[in-house]
Structure 1
Amino acid sequence: MQVHHLLEKNSVANTFISQLRDTSVQNDRMRFRRNVERLGEILAFELSKSLDYSEKKVETPLGTATISEIDEDLVICSILRAGLPLHTGILNVFDNADNSFISAYRHHPNDDEEFEILVEYLASPSLKDKTLILADPMLATGRSFVNVLGALKKMGEPKVIHLVSVIGAREGIEYLQEVFPENSHLWIAAIDENLDERGYIVPGLGDAGDLCFGPKMQH
C-alpha cells in the first residue's frame, strides 16, 4: 500500500488540522465538521491526480476545446458516523461518484479497555471493477478499515482501493500495509506516532464522531 502524507509539505491544510486538534476551537461543532469536510476536499483533489483520464471534446461559444476527464467508475464508502463530513468533502470533488455507507464501531463487551469492531449496516452498489474510496477520519488501530473491507467483499472485487483519513497512527498504518493489496493507496493529512492503552491516537484530537455530532451512549 502506498502512503500519501499531506502534511509532509506545508499548505493551508495545516490550519484545518490545527483547528481540529485545538480544544479551544474544536467544541464549535459546525467548524469541526466543516474542517473535516475541507480536508476531504483537499485529500480528494490530491487523490484525483492518480486516476485515469481520457480526452473529450467540449464545445465553447468560440470553438472546440479538448479536455481530459476522469475515466473511472468511483464509489465513495464512508464509515458511519464520523465519516459523514469527510464523505461530503470527497463527494464535493467527485460529484458523479456512486455512494456506499457502512457502520463500524467499537464494542466494549466487558466494559473495559478491550474492544472489538462490529459492522451492522451496509448499503452499497456493486463494487466489481470499480475504484473504491473508503473514508474514515480517524485511522487508529486500522481494524475498522479491515473489518469494513471484509464486509464489502460480497459487493464485488474493486479494481483499486483508496483509503482517505484525516489523522492516523503509524501503528495502524503499518497494519493496513500488511493487509490491504499492494496497489492500494492511503491518502492522509497527518500521521501521529502513538496509540494509548485504549487504542486512541495520541496526540490525535479526541472522538471525531462526538465532536461532529455530540456524545453517544456506549455499547
Structure 2
Amino acid sequence: MHIHNLSETPSILNTFISEIRDKTIQKDSMRFRRNIERIGEILGYELSKSLNFEAHKTETPLGTSETVLHKNDIVLCSILRAGVPLHNGLLNYFDAAENAFISAYRQHKHHPESFEIIVEYLACPSLENKTLILADPMLATGQSMVATFEALKPFGTPKEVHLISVIGAQKGVDYVAKEFNSSTHLWIAAIDKTINDKGYIIPGLGDAGDLAFGNKLQQ
C-alpha cells in the first residue's frame, strides 16, 4: 500500500488538525464539521495529483486555452455518520463524482473492549473499472474500512482504490496495509501511535460522529 501521511510536511493542515483535537474548540460542532470538511478538501487535492490526466481545450471569449484535466470516473463512498463532513469536503473538489454511502458501526456484544463491525444500509452505483475513494475520518483498528470494502465488492471491481482518513492509529494503518492490495493508496492527515482498550485512537480526538452531530442515543 502507498501511504501518504500529510502531517510529515508542515502546512496549514496542521491548524485544522489541532482545532479538531482541541477539547475547547470541539464544543462548537459547526466549526468541528467545517474543519473536517476543510481537511477533506486538502486530502482530495493531494489525491488529485495521482489521477490520470488528458489534454483539454477550453474556448474563452478571446481564444483557446489548453490544459490537462483528470479523466477518472470517481465514486466517493463514505461511512455514515461521521464520514458526512469528510465526504462533503471531497465532493467540493470532485463535484462530478458519483456517490455511495454505507453504515458501518461497532456492536459491543459482551463488554466494551470487544466488538464487531455491523454493516446495514448501503447505496452504491457500479464500481466496475472506476476510481473508488473510500472515506472514514477515524482509522482506529481499520476493521470498518475493510468491512466496508468487502460489502462493496458485489458492485464491481474498481480500477483503483484510494482510502481517505483524517486521523489514524498505527495499528489501523498497518491493518489496512495488510488487507488491501499493494496498489491501494491511503491519504491521511495524521497518524497517532496507539489505541485504548475500547478501540479509540490515542491521543486522537474522541468520537468524530458525536462531535459533528451530537451524542448517540444510548440503549
Interval containing the TM-score (normalised by the shorter chain): over 0.9
Given the two structures, how large is their TM-score scaled by the length of structure 2?
A: 0.98
| 1:201 counterpart = 2:187 | no
Displacement after TM superposition at 1:111 (Å)? 4.1
Deviations, residues 42-64 of structure 1 (Å, cap 9, x unaligned):
00000000000011111111111
What letter is aligned with 2:212?
C
Percent of residue pairs bearing the same amino acid type:
60
Counterpart of 2:106 in structure 1 is 106
> Which consecutive residues of structure 1, in runs of 5 or more, have no partner in the other structure?
none
Counterpart of 1:148 in structure 2 is 148
Paired residues, what number?
A: 219
What letter is aligned with 2:18?
S
TM alignment of 1:27-38, pairs within 5 A? 27-38=27-38
Displacement after TM superposition at 1:181 (Å)? 1.1
Displacement after TM superposition at 1:129 (Å)? 0.3
CA RMSD of aligned residues (A): 0.8
In structure 1, what is the Cα distance between the partners aligned to 2:148 and 2:217? 22
Deviations, residues 34-84 of structure 1 (Å, cap 9, x unaligned):
000000000000000000001111111111111101111000000000000
Displacement after TM superposition at 1:217 (Å)? 2.4
Deviations, residues 141-163 of structure 1 (Å, cap 9, x unaligned):
00000000110000000001000
SS of residue in 1 equivalent to 2:175:
helix
> Which consecutive residues of structure 2, in runs of 5 or more, have no partner in the other structure?
none
TM alignment of 1:21-60, pairs within 5 A? 21-60=21-60
Counterpart of 1:171 in structure 2 is 171
SS of residue in 2 equivalent to 1:177:
helix
Displacement after TM superposition at 1:113 (Å)? 1.8
Counterpart of 1:186 in structure 2 is 186
Residues 1:218 and 1:160: Cα distance change in structure 2 (over 3 Å): farther
Given the two structures, how large is their TM-score scaled by the length of structure 1?
A: 0.98
Displacement after TM superposition at 1:101 (Å)? 0.2
Deviations, residues 151-193 of structure 1 (Å, cap 9, x unaligned):
0000000001000000000011011111101110000000000
Deviations, residues 17-38 of structure 1 (Å, cap 9, x unaligned):
0000000101100000000000
In structure 1, what is the Cα distance between the partners aligned to 2:111 and 2:178? 30
Counterpart of 1:71 in structure 2 is 71
Counterpart of 1:160 in structure 2 is 160
